Amino acid sequence: MTSTPTKSNSERTLFIFPVIALVMLLAIRDLSLVDQTLISAVLIVLLGLPHGAMDLPLSYHLKLWKNLRGLLIWLTGYVALTLLCLAIWFLNPVLGLSIFFVITFWHFGADWPTNGNVERMIFGIWVICLPVPSNPGATREIFQELYQFTAYSDSASLMTTQVLCAGALITSPYIAYRALSHFYTGRPNMWLLDAAILLFAANTLPIILYFLLYFCSVHSPRHFFEIVKNTKLTGVMLSVVALTTLATVLLAAILWFSLEHIGTSSRLIHTVFAGLFALTVPHMVIVHLFEKTTLSQPSQTSDD
């Protein structure tokens, strides 16, 4: 989200979460891919989905609906967009994953103190691609699972892995330049701690656990805090988050049982990735409106 020049003590405590998460995930890094994916799915539901479940109360804050009729219209559009994303994913997983990556680059790039859209994309690409050079085999294995219903799963998985490797190699020098520039100017920033943790995690954790660390301990809690801080949502509206999270779990269950014809590992990976893609697109629409209307301040690079 858009950064502010100063941070309160409560905001500073958010930087402790990835440190704790890293220690915990290092303890389970030797588990199988199935176990890692299962743990990730559970923790995403418990720690990651609540920030996305803010879409309903957030849409009310943005005055996208004001009464029951407006709510039903908004829900219809939200669900329709979700189903469209699922259709794209299962009809053409390469296209679906490509769209997913682009919007995730943009979305995660907002977690960092950036100047302009280009730098935001650079940071987002860096975050997503960083663990791939250290885990090329595991990365390709995941993509082979996602592309298994296509006639070009081997070539597409290899190409996707190579593109993400290139993304990490291209953006890393700029991230290093940004980090060094803060040291030379005597302006150490808290984001440097995040960058150091991610760099260490990318080279020590399996790729699934790396993304779990970022999504659940960096992106989700800070995004949730940003929304609460910049809105005046009532306790009743915030309680809707729990109901929305339950609805999301129901969607995951439907995905799970619809894939009963494939193995457990594939079902887990497809459910997690397809579910995240289907929910990220409508979520990004709401977040974009939130950034445009509520977070109107320009980004600050002196965020510390």
Q: Provide the residue ranges of all domains of the chain, joining segments of one domain with +.
A: 9-292
Nearest Cα residue to 157 out of 167, 169, 148, 168 = 148
pLDDT of residue 300: 42
Torsion of CA 239, 16, 214, 170, to 10 degrees: 140
In angstroms, the Cα distances linking 81 to 118, 239, 250, 278 are 27, 24, 17, 8
Q: What is the pLDDT along the chain (304 residues), one digit of tens a residue?
A: 444 444 555 556 777 889 899 999 999 888 887 788 788 878 877 777 777 778 888 888 888 988 989 989 998 999 899 899 999 998 999 999 999 999 999 999 998 988 899 999 999 999 999 999 999 999 999 999 889 878 888 999 999 999 999 999 999 999 999 888 876 665 557 788 899 999 999 999 999 999 999 998 899 888 888 887 777 766 555 556 665 666 666 766 776 666 666 666 777 788 888 888 888 898 888 988 888 887 654 444 444 4
Cα within 13 Å of Cα(117), Cβ side: 4
pLDDT of residue 61: 85
Interatomic CA distance for residues 230 and 245, integer angstroms: 21
pLDDT of residue 3: 44
In angstroms, the Cα distances linking 186 to 168, 189, 197, 214, 273 are 27, 10, 21, 27, 41
pLDDT of residue 296: 54
pLDDT of residue 245: 65
In angstroms, the Cα distances linking 239 to 16, 93, 294 are 26, 35, 22
pTM: 0.83
pLDDT of residue 299: 43
**Structural contact between residues 58 and 290, judged by C-beta atoms closer than 8 angstroms:** yes
For the segment 233-250, what is each residue's pLDDT rounded down to a tens digit? Answer: 665 555 566 656 666 667
Amino acid making up residue 31: L
